[in-house]
Amino acid sequence: MNRTVLKIEGMTCDHCVHTIEKVLSAVPGVEKAEVNLKQKSAVIISDRPIDMSNAIFAVEQEGYKAIVIS
């Protein structure tokens, strides 16, 4: 199992959280995406390595910023 943590900038509400979880879940290979508003984080679970540029692009298209933390 692969676990990647992103820092997300720009979220202000639970609807933002839901939007980002939805678009991250749609990235090829992603099993699960858990977004935390207070921590400004997204944890991506996958069973194979993911091209994180796809994940970052998906988040940016919704108007937020994403940086890979680990």
Interface positions with ligand 9UX (CB under 6 A): 12-13, 15-16
Task: Give the nearer residue to ligand 9UX in terms of CB position, either 12 or 70.
Answer: 12
Q: Is the dihedral of CA 27, 33, 36, 41 positive or negative?
A: negative
Print burial letters for 14-23: b (CB count within 10 Å at least 16), e (below 16). eebbebbeeb
CB of 56 to ligand 9UX, least distance (A): 18
CB of 40 to ligand 9UX, least distance (A): 12
CB of 48 to ligand 9UX, least distance (A): 31
